[in-house]
Structure 1
Amino acid sequence: MGFIIKSSGKFSYQFIIFVILIVCCFLTIEIIDAAAIKDPTYNIVSSKLCDPNVKQYSGYIKINQFTNIFFWFFESRKNPKDSPLTLWLNGGPGCSSMVGLIQEVGPCRTIAGGTDVENHPESWIEVSNMLFIDQPVDAGFSFGDRIVSTTEQSSLNLYDFLQKFFEKFPEYSKMKFHIFGESFGGHYNGPALNSSEIAVMRSELPGCEQLIDNCYATGEALDCIAAEGTCMNISSHYIDSGLSVYDVRTTADLPLDYQVYFAKPEVMSAIGAQKSFTNCSLNVYAGFYLQGDMIQSHKTDVEYLLNRGFPVLIYNGDADFICNWFSGMTFVKSLIWTYQSEFNNSSMKKWIVGNNFGGETMSYDKLTFVRVYEAGHEVPLYQPTNSLDMFTKWINNEALTTESESKKRGINKRKI
């Protein structure tokens, strides 16, 4: 199995918990006809929205009496039976994975104004079956009586969901499985600031680091909340500049047209949605913050994966502030694993897509890092062609084409 994880310096614990559980447990499934199941656990429909030419399912899986998790699944456009299955999760914490579906890697994108959608030819369903899940409860269309407030709680709910999803659709349980997560907890840095603002941020950094160390040492929520507040405050110097935290090249925020689309009654009915759409849940975000969860490091969990032979891909858009590539590079070089020295001694190479520079990459054994040129926080939104190239080669266990390789083929390159 390949596991795709995208973040910068701090990883969403639900990915790691789920991977460990998958490694330790084997799922026994009775092969049955999914359409014949009559079970209140499942409230699922099959629509023709987004891409009417592929098999798709959406709706809810009830994992307990308090929790109804919404999902939208699409089969691959090409040879779905032999394609892998990729799980997509957005961050926040508390943001809907429908954002990734409709704005980044799904089979359709909203037109201006959000009144309708159009085909997305560079969707990742070109090469993979895709499963988008709104989690935890209160994100997107998911609902329930209990809102979780830690990544551990969220990961356990996610694991239960996937168990039930594969019970409902056993044909997808046999596929190669990839986990892909975006954002949630990138480390902050300081691009696009003047020298005095940078000096202030540097002067405040030791206090932030000391509080983080104290949080890790005690594990107490109050100590971790203190670290969260102090460290996030450092980034306020950047935020006050007016530039977007998702793209240092602009003052504009990310587009939100998809909220208009998901609010349409006919769309909600077609996909089986039973509550209004919540782009990012403030309740979930506040809960994670007040538990001190957002400052926690899961570096050791990534090391666990690498030391047990699981592939890990980490990439960042080079115009992203909130999950910037500087912190991503620092993080991957700090990982303690079997081939740490070999990875750190490997060179950063230009990544070539077609006749263009797509970015830079370094890789050794199971660890790959990619800096994506001309991309903000939601990399596939800015660079759909390059992100599809990266994803396709990753799931096929192929190395990205680099400058040294392209010279052998006589490719004339230009920066995109």
Structure 2
Amino acid sequence: MHISTASMAAGLSATLATLAAALPGPASGLDKRYTEERNGINYNVFEHADTRSKLSFVNNSGICETTSGVNQYSGYISVGPDMNMFFWQVASFLMIPAAPTLSPLLLTDNSVRFFEARDNPTTAPLATWFNGGPGCSSMIGLFQENGPCQFYNGSSTPSLNPYSFNNYANMLYIDQPIGVGFSYGNDTVNSTVSAAPQVWALLQSFYAQFPQYESRDFGIFTESYGGHYGPEFASYVQQQNAGIKAGNVTGEPINLVAVGINNGWFESKMQYRAYIDYSANNSYKQILTPEDYSEYMNTYISDCEPAINGCYSGGTDDLCSGAQDTRVQDIENAIMGEADFDPYDVRQLSNDPYPPGQYKNYLAKQSVQKAIGAQSSYQECPSAAYQKFSNTGDNTRSFLDTLSDVVQSGVTVLVWAGDADWICNYMGVQAVANAVDFDGSDELNAKDLQPYTVNRKETGKYKTVKNFTYLQVYAAGHEVPYYQPETALQVFMQTMQKKGISST
């Protein structure tokens, strides 16, 4: 398992205590339905007597998913003092049950958007998407990568994305931790480990509200800091499933079948070394000369690697945050000062970030916020959430062992990376993939990469052994689905089908 420290355990205990305190106590009486106006927005309201939870939603905003016949519901679930979870649901038929029940495990106020599958929604699997950060909104993925709409050709309004992941699966986009996106309220999360219980509780509340999704195949897809989130969230789901089966946990089992992580940040030691290797040897832009390469590698070996080892062995917040400061200063920031490039796409300049961010201006419009029932302004990557993770040194901590555990459990796992990304580059991601410990490790390491094709066009190269796949995607930056949408959709579908990816 990944490193567990006393301070991290204390932080998790504090988080669970806070969640427990926020849980409404038992109540008697009848459920209530009524309409309510708040700050100029008219909501349909449902109050659940048993949990005192309150669901406030607006109908058919007409935002993003405009496929004919698809209904939308968006708003908030309030489950405690200053705890407001935004949700966005899109369905091709009325999804609010006649007598909805809200789970007593509604313990977060994270922001949620739900889009039903365009194809066979009544039988399609369910998948979640998490952007990274830590502390970045999943609206990045929704509006720039794999959601139902995107902003094309400089347009200020979105159009339908023909390669949306909800072509195949019912999609749930989750903003976490608290304070990210349109979510607002108290934020107690300061690490990946302490984030996992809130995500699980959110999923439990979703199943309670929409029981038709219970028992369906479920997938976790994520990117960037998702190299931490994906393994830990999957592992926590499996732990809770075991607890439910043993009678120690109250909740709905989650049928986790797939995990996909693109350009993930998993393990500092290998991936910081890869900054140096990629900067000297990538096919797009030479950032380091051979002389620079030797100098940075010496610095890495003398300063950074010992600091990371100290975090891994000692595990305290101070050691891990100190290691983060050392490697950021000596390697990351220093290399970015060697040349002008966008760390998320080395083909671009630093003052010309890509993909474009029109969606933020769109979500800042009062008319859009009112249409979807948002009560707070949009925050893409607020610094407060990031700083809490930084203070515990979460960035430095390795989740390689947790990833190995998930692969060993039999879940189909895809680790993939766009080859133009620097910040979580494919060389580091491939090193992590080769280090995953499972019963096919030796075979995977000995196996050569083979071409990956989509409709006979080569778009990457990959290797698969049993339930684990590594894929390098050509001509793609950090946000792979933006650059290679057709490839991303094919990869997503094949992984959700519980099989290794294959060329078409």
Tell me how far 1:280 sits from its aligned partner: 0.2
- Any idea what SS the aligned residue of 1:314 has? strand
- Any idea what SS the aligned residue of 1:99 has? helix
Structure 1 position 202 matched with structure 2 position 215: no
Counterpart AA for 2:342: S
Query: In the alignment, which residue of structure 1 is the partner of 2:125?
Result: 84
Conservation of the 8 A alpha-carbon contact between 2:149 and 2:160 = yes
1:63-142 correspondence runs (5 A): 64-67=80-83, 68-111=109-152, 115-142=156-183
Query: In the alignment, which residue of structure 2 is the partner of 1:360?
Result: 461
- TM-score of the superposed pair, with normalisation by structure 1: 0.85
Tell me how far 1:65 sits from its aligned partner: 3.3
Runs ≥4 residues deviating over 4 A: 34-37, 111-114
Counterpart AA for 1:202: M
Identity of aligned residues (%): 33
Determine the C-alpha separation between the residues in 2 that align with 1:135 and 1:80: 26
Query: In the alignment, which residue of structure 1 is the partner of 2:476?
Result: 375
Query: In the alignment, which residue of structure 2 is the partner of 1:61?
Result: 77
Query: In the alignment, which residue of structure 1 is the partner of 2:197?
Result: 156
Tell me how far 1:42 sits from its aligned partner: 2.5
Determine the C-alpha separation between the residues in 2 that align with 1:376 and 1:63: 39
Determine the C-alpha separation between the residues in 1 that align with 2:416 and 2:132: 15
Determine the C-alpha separation between the residues in 2 that align with 1:69 and 1:276: 14
Determine the C-alpha separation between the residues in 2 that align with 1:256 and 1:201: 33
- Any idea what SS the aligned residue of 2:299 has? helix
Query: In the alignment, which residue of structure 2 is the partner of 1:42?
Result: 55
Q: Once the two structures are superposed, what CA deviation does each residue of 1:281-335 show, in whole Å capped at 9, x if it has no partner?
A: 1001111101111111111111111222111110000001011111111101111
Unaligned regions of 5+ residues in structure 1, if any? Answer: 1-12, 18-31, 407-416
Closer, same or farther: CA 119–49 of 1 in aligned 2, 3 Å: same
Structure 1 position 333 matched with structure 2 position 430: no
Determine the C-alpha separation between the residues in 1 that align with 2:308 and 2:199: 28
1:275 to 373, 376, 394: 376
- Any idea what SS the aligned residue of 1:178 has? strand
Closer, same or farther: CA 113–266 of 1 in aligned 2, 3 Å: farther
- Any idea what SS the aligned residue of 1:294 has? coil
- Any idea what SS the aligned residue of 2:75 has? strand
- TM-score of the superposed pair, with normalisation by structure 2: 0.70
Structure 1 position 245 matched with structure 2 position 348: no
Closer, same or farther: CA 310–63 of 1 in aligned 2, 3 Å: farther
Unaligned regions of 5+ residues in structure 2, if any? Answer: 1-7, 13-30, 34-43, 84-108, 228-264, 266-270, 280-285
Structure showing greater relative contact order (alpha-carbon pairs closer than 8 Å, 6 or more residues apart)? 1
Tell me how far 1:346 sits from its aligned partner: 2.2
Determine the C-alpha separation between the residues in 2 that align with 1:228 and 1:41: 41
Counterpart AA for 2:202: F
Conservation of the 8 A alpha-carbon contact between 2:411 and 2:467 = yes
Query: In the alignment, which residue of structure 1 is the partner of 2:392?
Result: 291
> What is the Cα-based RMSD across aligned positions, in Å?
2.2
Counterpart AA for 1:49: I
Tell me how far 1:157 sits from its aligned partner: 1.1
Conservation of the 8 A alpha-carbon contact between 1:114 and 1:260 = no
Tell me how far 1:399 sits from its aligned partner: 4.0
Q: Once the two structures are superposed, what CA deviation does each residue of 1:224-277 show, in whole Å capped at 9, x if it has no partner?
A: 111101112201233111201100111121322111010011111122211100
